[in-house]
Amino acid sequence: MTERTGTVWGKSHDVTVHQRDPFNAESSLEVLAQGAVTSAEDFYVRNHGPVPEPDPRTWRLSVEGMVQRPLELSLEDLQGRFENHEVVATLQCAGNRRSGLAKVHDIPGHPWGPGATSTASWVGVRLTDVLETAGTDDGARHVAFEAPDVAPEAMPPQRFGASIPIDKATRSEVLLAWEMNGYPLPTVHGAPVRVIVPGYIGARSVKWVDRISVQEHPSQNFFQSTAYRLLPPGIDPYSAPPGDGLALGPLAVNSAILTPDDGAVVPAGATTVTGYALSGEDRGIARVDVSLDGGDNWYQADLDEPLSPWTWTPWRITLDLPLGDVEVTARAWDTSAAVQPEHEAPLWNPKGYFNNAWARIHLTTTDRVERAV
Ligand SMILES: Nc1nc2c(c(=O)[nH]1)N[C@H]1C(S)=C(S)[C@@H](COP(=O)(O)O)O[C@H]1N2
Ligand SMILES: [Mo]
């Protein structure tokens, strides 16, 4: 069930709470449109279990597995022994825009709109610097993360975990972060320390991380081996065994219309439409096309300069809206010339991930300005 409320875990009244416990909240599209960086109180939240509250004084991060020198680091060790870095990065849940897929066929899971994504600046240390200190063995291929929150939905119930290939883990953008937008990481976003894996689905950015394991194989954790996998249609999402389908990593090219609201009544004539576009890894957004006639004619939106290679590209365009019912569609192209597909139906998958069909909103225009009530 979806309710409009706020103020748990420091969230604003603008977020849409999809679930209270575990706490899951979607950012307001209107608020996302207001800036390239999202404040902590408006940042979306995705939790699979109750929020743990590790004591930062006793919190320890273990680095183990295929390493020459296993480490056990306190927060002070992490902050003091390694160079600190800032990365501005957009996080996006693999289930972002699931509601569009759920209209095609039922899908379990929260019906996220396009607001399961937000952008912040993160300060921490590079995972690669920590791995270098530990010294990874030849033959190490993956880096796995674990956190203390136990997800009841996991089979069997277990701590949250994920892994990324070692080639990604050793890139400079991947952080162990304790600061968000200049403040200590809020509890609900992973305090004292979380992983930030820019360019990948949000599920790999493990919050409250307390264990890093270097290994030959991907994590066997439920959220790597069973959840967050793209299954073919016809498979039962509840009973698909570990290892089925594709483990999701880098995001696909996507976009959304943020303003006006879907279903809004606006005056005919000049209206500005805004949105975001984002692609996986450090692929940039090359172009955003917007159409008023279902794709027969396209206009190119103005793109803001992204704040980093790891953030979304805000875009805007002023359109001359005709009188009556209008559908506005948008599609983004990334720098590898990948483009969003037109329809949701062919993208449908049993767990409802990676809906990157054209963004669409429906507007009704009037020939006079209606008074707001
Ligand atoms: N420990 C832990 N880390 C987690 C999760 C979780 O449930 N537990 N959810 C993941 C998912 S699916 C997403 S999309 C992001 C969301 O990050 P946020 O809540 O800070 O927005 O956190 C990821 N890290
Ligand atoms: Mo997610």
Across-strand partners of 178? none
Convert the pLDDT of each residue in 165-180 to its tens digit: 999 999 999 999 999 9
Which ligand 1 atom sits nearest the alpha carbon of residue 92?
A: 14
CA of 225 to the centre of ligand 2 (A): 15
The CA-based dihedral angle spanning residues 35, 276, 163, 220, taken in that order and rounded to the nearest 10 degrees? 120
- DSSP-derived 3-state class of residue 108: coil
Convert the pLDDT of each residue in 6-41 to its tens digit: 479 999 999 999 999 999 999 999 999 999 999 999
CA of 46 to the centre of ligand 1 (A): 5
Q: Residue 295: left if φ>0, alpha if ψ -120 to 50, beta else—which one?
A: left
Which ligand 1 atom sits nearest the alpha carbon of residue 209?
A: 1
More confident: 196 or 153? 196
Q: In the structure, what pLDDT confidence band is assigned to residue 306 with cuts at 50, 70 and 90?
A: very high
- Nearest to residue 130, comparing CAs of 58, 87, 183, 193? 193
> Looking at residues 138-149, what average pLDDT do you find?
98
DSSP 44: -
pLDDT at 99 over 60: yes
Q: In the structure, what pLDDT confidence band is assigned to residue 372 with cuts at 50, 70 and 90?
A: low
Residue 194, amino acid:
R
From 205, 219, 248, give the residue whose CB has the most ligand 1 atoms within 8 Å, as the site to mutate.
205
Closest ligand to C-alpha of residue 177 is: 1
Q: Which residues have any ligand 1 atom within 6 Å of their CB?
A: 43-48, 91, 93, 147, 149, 160, 189, 202-203, 205-208
| Residue of the CA atom closest to atom 20 of ligand 1 | 189
pLDDT at 369 over 70: no
Q: Which two three-digit tokens encode residue 246? A: 């594709």
Give the integer Cα–Cα distance in Å for 117 and 63.
29
| Residue of the CA atom closest to atom 19 of ligand 1 | 45
> Looking at residues 144-172, what average pLDDT do you find?
97
pLDDT at 370 over 90: no
From 15, 179, 207, 219, give the residue whose CB has the most ligand 1 atoms within 8 Å, as the site to mutate.
207
| Residue of the CA atom closest to atom 21 of ligand 1 | 45
Give the integer Cα–Cα distance in Å for 295 and 292.
7
| Residue of the CA atom closest to atom 12 of ligand 1 | 203
User: Is 143:214 a contact under the CB 8 Å cutoff?
Assistant: yes
Convert the pLDDT of each residue in 105-125 to its tens digit: 999 999 999 999 999 999 999
Which ligand 1 atom sits nearest the alpha carbon of residue 148?
A: 1
**Helix (H) or strand (E) run with residue 321 in it:** strand 313-321
User: Is 223:162 a contact under the CB 8 Å cutoff?
Assistant: yes
Per-residue confidence (pLDDT) for residue 75, from 0 to 100? 98
> Looking at residues 291-318, what average pLDDT do you find?
98
**The sheet that has 71-73: what strands, in order across it?**
71-73, 61-65, 211-215, 142-151, 158-165
From 16, 47, 178, give the residue whose CB has the most ligand 1 atoms within 8 Å, as the site to mutate.
47
From 42, 46, 119, 185, give the residue whose CB has the most ligand 1 atoms within 8 Å, as the site to mutate.
46
Give the integer Cα–Cα distance in Å for 219 and 73.
22
Per-residue confidence (pLDDT) for residue 6, from 0 to 100? 46
Which ligand 1 atom sits nearest the alpha carbon of residue 48?
A: 7
Closest ligand to C-alpha of residue 149 is: 1
User: What is the number of alpha carbons within 13 Å of residue 226 lying toward its C-beta?
Assistant: 18
pLDDT at 231 over 70: yes
Q: Residue 294: left if φ>0, alpha if ψ -120 to 50, beta else—which one?
A: left
Percent of the chain, pLDDT > 90?
95
Per-residue confidence (pLDDT) for residue 1, from 0 to 100? 43
